[in-house]
Amino acid sequence: MSGGNQKSSVYGMKILLNKMKFKLFCLLSVILILVSSCDYLFPPFSGERITVEEAYKYISKNEKSEDLMIIDVRNAARYNEGYIPGAVNYDYDSTGFPTWIEKLDRSKVYIVYSEDERKSFNTLELMLELNFGNAHAIKGGLQQWKKMGYPLRK
């Protein structure tokens, strides 16, 4: 084999190797993008008691979903002063409260909050006892939500 053929053969192998590296890079990039947006592999919540950051991120991503229900368990007067957008008000201190909770659709995702967190954690415990599989309460409640500067509606 002459020197020229050897050089062109080595050059051809380098080009082929670079093309293969580029294709591998593209494939890995696509896989990374698909996997990082997959809620199955990376669930949206760390547990039943979630941070305001987790709640805000999930609510923002799913605000139009009929599978999400945000429940404010404060009284109506406090609710009317400002609530998380999309939240419904079920007054924890109302005599009908346990019945309202019991009638909810267990297939939905629930995010519960109160002013601090006590009533929302109690509500979460009730929901878990009633076999709600996807119920969550915000740690720090509305106080922490406000502290982070997240939006409220009146």
Taking all residues of the chain, what is their mean pLDDT, rounded to a whole number?
Answer: 85
The per-residue pLDDT for 28 is 61
pTM of the model: 0.72
Indicate whether 107 pLDDT > 80: yes
Cβ–Cβ < 8 Å for 123, 137: yes
Between the alpha carbon of residue 112 and those of residues 2, 17, 130, 134, the distances in Å are 78, 55, 15, 11
The per-residue pLDDT for 100 is 96
Percentage with pLDDT > 90 across the chain: 68
111-137: b (≥16 Cβ within 10 Å) or e: bbbbbebebbbebbebbeeeebebbbb
DSSP summary character for residue 83: B
Show the CA angle centred on residue 39, arms to residues 36 and 43, nearest 5°.
105
The per-residue pLDDT for 24 is 66
Residue among 68, 92, 66 nearest 79 (CA) = 92
Residue among 70, 78, 90, 69 nearest 115 (CA) = 78
- For the residues 53-82, what does the mean pLDDT come to? 96
Instruction: List pLDDT tens digits, range 18-41.
Output: 777 777 666 665 555 554 444 433
